[in-house]
């Protein structure tokens, strides 16, 4: 998990009226949200070989203008999870770029009346010149929690995780509820237990596709494990030596598991 701030090397800005120069940063994505890189796994210097759907200025990275670009293509494109494994810094800023790309694609036309939108001059939003509807980038808040019972950690097997045997309890925040309520609800719904001493730990941008992951720790309070049989197929308590770790430390889930191991 990347723990340094995005803004150590990045300054936010945006415009659809600025064209890239040679040596500017070009974050070129295809329709699978994969990033184009050269043979030496670097960002390309120009758009000569591409037919770009759009090219949007998104600020400066390491003092250099940066653009997100959308194209058709398959060759030399890398999933962001793979980019993380060989270049954490590139993944960090590319995660920002792909979220801006998704927002721009999704709201180039107003979802209320269908008129083409316009990029605001002050805020990062697309506004409709006809009905006045505004469209900000959409981030889906989600919680993830490491639940401790004495020297054991509660982990569950999710129906949608084919490559992970057991993982932490997680879920999206519902309209009208607080973050804390979301944690208690998700735990009760998925594994049937109640928790206490809920503590926020840290957050993580998770661009798969557009989540903000909010990490918590908690202690077991009461109840017996009873999985929902839909999202959760199995759940049980693990001692630290029995935990099977993920193949990558990309996620906040891995950080929470490591924190449990280190403090147990």
* 29 pLDDT higher than 80: yes
Q: What is the pLDDT of residues 76-123, one digit of tens each?
A: 999 999 999 999 999 999 999 999 999 999 999 999 999 999 999 889
Fold matches, 6-106 and 140-263: yes
* pLDDT at 264 (0 to 100): 87
Per-residue pLDDT, averaged over 200-229, amounts to 96
Look up residue 192 and give its DSSP letter: -
Q: Of 8-12, 45-49, 151-155, 169-173, which gets the smallest average pLDDT?
A: 45-49
pLDDT band at 220 (very low <50, low <70, confident <90, very high): very high
Residues 104 and 121: their CA atoms lie apart, in Å, by: 15
Look up residue 19 and give its DSSP letter: P
Break the chain into its structural domains and give their ranges: 6-106, 140-263
Say whether 256 sits in a helix, a strand or coil: helix
* pLDDT at 236 (0 to 100): 96
Residues 56 and 14: their CA atoms lie apart, in Å, by: 7
Kindly state which CATH superfamily the domain 140-263 is placed in.
Nucleoside Triphosphate Pyrophosphohydrolase (3.90.79.10)
* pLDDT at 230 (0 to 100): 85
* 28 pLDDT higher than 70: yes
**Which among 11, 9, 20 is positioned nearest to 44, based on CA atoms?**
20
Q: What values do phi and psi take at 261, rounded to 5?
A: -60, -45
Task: With beta carbons less than 8 A apart as the criterion, state whether 109 and 115 touch.
Answer: yes
* 245 pLDDT higher than 80: yes
Query: Taking the complete model, does pTM exceed 0.85, yes or no?
Result: yes
pLDDT band at 143 (very low <50, low <70, confident <90, very high): very high
pLDDT band at 26 (very low <50, low <70, confident <90, very high): very high
Residues 5 and 96: their CA atoms lie apart, in Å, by: 12
- Looking up tokens 């661009």 gives 207
Q: Of 127-141, 154-168, 177-191, 249-263, which gets the smallest average pLDDT?
A: 154-168
pLDDT band at 162 (very low <50, low <70, confident <90, very high): low
Residues 199 and 197: their CA atoms lie apart, in Å, by: 6
Residues 121 and 77: their CA atoms lie apart, in Å, by: 32
* Span 6-106 CATH architecture: Alpha-Beta Complex (3.90)
């Amino acid at each position: 998990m990347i723990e340094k701030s995005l803004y150590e090397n990045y300054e936010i800005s945006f415009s659809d009226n600025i064209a890239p120069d040679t040596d500017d940063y070009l974050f070129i994505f295809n329709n699978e949200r994969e990033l184009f890189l050269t043979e030496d796994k670097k960002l390309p210097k120009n758009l000569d070989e591409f037919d770009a759907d759009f090219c949007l200025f998104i600020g400066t990275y390491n003092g250099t203008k940066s653009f997100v670009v959308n194209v058709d293509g398959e060759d030399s494109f890398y999933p962001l999870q793979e980019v993380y494994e060989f270049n954490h810094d590139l993944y960090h800023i590319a995660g920002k770029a792909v979220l801006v790309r998704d927002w721009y694609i999704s709201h180039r036309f107003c979802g209320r009346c269908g008129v083409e939108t316009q990029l605001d001059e002050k805020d990062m939003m697309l506004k409709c010149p006809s009905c006045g509807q505004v469209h900000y980038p959409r981030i889906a808040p989600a919680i993830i929690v490491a639940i401790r019972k004495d020297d054991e950690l509660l982990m569950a097997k999710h129906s949608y995780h084919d490559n992970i045997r057991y993982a932490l309890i997680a879920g999206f925040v519902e309209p009208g509820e607080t973050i804390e309520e979301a944690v208690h609800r998700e735990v009760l719904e998925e594994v049937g237990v109640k928790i206490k001493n809920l503590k926020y730990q840290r957050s993580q941008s998770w661009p798969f596709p557009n989540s903000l992951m909010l990490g918590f720790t908690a202690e077991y309070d009461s109840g017996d494990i009873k999985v929902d049989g839909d999202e959760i197929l199995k759940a049980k308590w693990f001692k630290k030596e029995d935990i099977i770790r993920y193949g990558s430390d990309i996620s906040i889930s891995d950080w929470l598991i490591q924190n449990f191991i280190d403090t147990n």
